[in-house]
Structure 1
Amino acid sequence: MTAAPDRRRPRPARTRPLRLLLPAAGLVALGLTLNACSPANAQNTLNRVVSTAGLRVQQDVRYGPDARNLMDVYAPQGARRAPTVLFIHGGSWESGDKEGYRFVGESLARAGYVTGVMNYRLAPTHRYPAYVQDAAQALKTLRTQAAALGGDPDNLFVMGHSAGGFNAAELVDNERWLREVNVPVSAVRGVIGVAGPYSYDFRDFPSARAFPVGGDPDQIMPDRHVRRDAPPHLLLTAARDTVVHPQNALNMEAALKAAGISAVRTELPGLDHVTIIAAVARPLTWLGGTRQAVLDFIEAHRLR
């Protein structure tokens, strides 16, 4: 099977100036530059304007022995049996950090969900499946600790952006990984992939560094691993994405539906590979519909 490519390395892009209005003593205008080549700048700016005041935040929760086996957990005050979300960052499996995604934890916690934002071991030192196994261990730890934070251990959602979307889908859809950590698939209510590369031939791209030497995409890509008892999936793509080809989501959707799994694929207009995740931030929902699509999906599939 010939998979559609994931354009892991974006072409040099023009910066796109964005204006953010925040309530303070008056209306304060902040200039944000979201550049597909340097998403860390956008994340750092977002984190500076997002407050976690009033939330319960546990930083550097350890889920494994490696220095990067840490996650931050964000929870609403007074939560009881709330949906519990594990978020996995992108970065071509070679970069990225939970610190850059505080805005995701804050946004989902404000919506009423206990949310873990994890780090994982990075390629090329740690290649597939190391980072997927890290996600499995993080989900196990989050599930174990969910009740103490007001979350429901059997009301789990796994969400990832870009490379993290691959990790999320592979973690849940390949029956091996949850079985290895004794997390029942029935505890996972849904998978949310945001611009994920689920179906491509990594041998043609620099991201080959994240996979075993001589590895076969047919043995690795999540769309080849769909279990028939998988939970529903939400596959979000950005209309202006020049990093991950939309065929990835089309192939993943087809594989899920062939296995009888509910899958909703939604293309969000006006967004690119960076702004599709930036739009999860509450101050940036005007960018596009990412946050609302995620919340609607969780509300539709959560345990009551």
Structure 2
Amino acid sequence: MKRRLFVFPVLLALGVALTACNPVATLNNTTNLSGLDVTRNLHYGPDARNVLDIYAPQQASGKPVVLFIHGGSWDSGSKDEYVFVGDSLARAGYVTAVMSYRLAPTHPYPDYIQDAAQALKWLQDNAAKYGGNGQRLYVVGHSAGAFNAAEVVDNARWLNEAGVNINTVHGLVGIAGPYDYDFRKFPSKNAFPAGGDPANIMPSRHIRPDAPPHLLLVAANDTTVDPDNGERMKAALQAAGVPYTYTVLPGLNHITIVAALSRKLTFLGGTRKAVLDFLATQEQKP
């Protein structure tokens, strides 16, 4: 992993003329949510950051549920920056929860992993109120959020501790994730316990053989998270016998790979299509 896991310097990264001072706000403010049921700031836990927003097709009933986990080097970021993700996945027929979580350095590993587990527990128990099927959960994460997604799904410890039935999680999508790196050599070391050993923390070391299918998306031009993270995670999944799809998306970098989840920015690359194709394939299974 190289430098910080930036949240969203979209103005420079996309190379498009967004007119407002805050390009994230511009993208989100121009995302039309009409025709969706949106419920904000639902508490899945006791902390002020233990909140999520739900985006659902109108009059949804029994729809599969996607939990999206944002990036930000574990010390920044918010659900509020990813309205476009909620819109994009809900338009495709998924009840979509976009979560915030406790941040480092005040809350290092595993606090943010436990938050992801608690959010899944909440969705398992409450998704039906918002048109979702709490027995058909998927987890999608970008950057640091992809680390969180892989660790919470692949390491049965966190699901078991939170009371989540591991069979309710049917798939995982990791977008440009740092699944296997030595955090001690980077500023992100502050997101992990002092003296922590990457060999005991990295998601690639915790893959259970009964984990659900994975989609690993890697940006060919990523200079923030070394693409070798994806290669090492792929090798670990293969060794554990876990089904996976590994896709390198050409022309994309660490930021544009998640920006391309927006319905308005699919011209950037194939992120949205790859994610929706993967989810649809899993939904065809019993």
Task: Give the aligned partner of residue 127 of structure 2.
Answer: 146
1:146-295 aligned at under 5 Å gives the runs 146-295=127-276
Aligned to 2:242, the other structure's residue is in SS state: coil
Asked if the contact 1:17/1:32 (under 8 Å) is kept, the reply is no
Are residues 1:15 and 2:12 paired? yes
Which structure features the higher share of strand residues?
A: 1
Q: Structure 1 counterpart of 2:128, which letter?
A: A
Give the 3-state SS of the residue equivalent to 2:209 in structure 1.
Answer: coil
Residue 64 of structure 1 is aligned with which of 36, 39, 45?
45
Distance 1:205 1:283 in 2: 34
- TM-score, length-scaled by structure 1: 0.89
Q: Which residue in 1 is equivalent to 2:277?
A: 296
- Corresponding position of 1:32: 18
Q: For the pair shown, which has the larger CA radius of gyration, 1 or 2?
A: 1
Q: Which amino acid aligns with 2:70?
A: H
Shift of 1:99: 0.4
State the AA in 2 paired with 1:301. Answer: Q
Q: Is the Cα–Cα contact under 8 Å of residues 166 and 222 in structure 1 kept in the other structure?
A: yes
| Contact 1:10/1:242 (8 A) holds in 2 | no
Kindly indicate whether the alpha-carbon contact (under 8 Å) linking 2:5 and 2:72 is maintained by their aligned counterparts in 1: no
CA distance in 2, matches of 1:109, 1:13: 23
Superposition RMSD in Å: 1.9
The 5 Å alignment of 1:94-113 reads 94-113=75-94
Contact 1:185 1:229 in 2 (8 A): no
Aligned length: 282
Please tell me the residue identity of whatever aligns with 2:213.
P
> What SS does structure 2 have at the residue aligned with 1:193?
strand
- Alignment equivalent of 2:70, drawn from 66, 69, 89: 89
Runs of 4+ in 1 over 2 A off after TM superposition: 8-19, 40-43
Structure 2 letter corresponding to 1:91: G
CA separation of 1:78/1:15 partners in 2, compared to 1, >3 Å: closer, same or farther?
same
TM-score, normalization by structure 2:
0.94
Contact 2:11 2:23 in 1 (8 A): no
TM-aligned CA deviation for residue 10 of structure 1: 7.2
**Which blocks of at least 5 consecutive residues in structure 1 are unaligned?**
1-5, 20-30, 34-39
Displacement of 1:154: 1.4
Q: Would the aligned equivalents of 2:64 and 2:137 in 1 still touch at CA under 8 Å?
A: yes
Task: Say whether 1:48 aligns with 2:26.
Answer: no
How far apart are residue 147 of structure 1 and its match?
1.3
Report how far residue 150 of structure 1 moved. 1.7
Gaps of 5+ in 2: none
C-alpha distance in 1 between matches for 2:215 and 2:11: 30
| Contact kept in structure 1, 2:62 and 2:128, CA below 8 Å | yes
The answer on whether the counterparts of 1:98 and 1:117 sit within 8 Å (CA) in structure 2 is yes
Greater displacement, 138-147 / 253-262: 138-147
How has the CA–CA distance of structure 1 residues 213 and 282 changed in structure 2, closer, same or farther, with 3 Å as cutoff? same
Q: 1:41 offset after TM fit, Å?
A: 3.8
**2:178 counterpart SS class:** coil
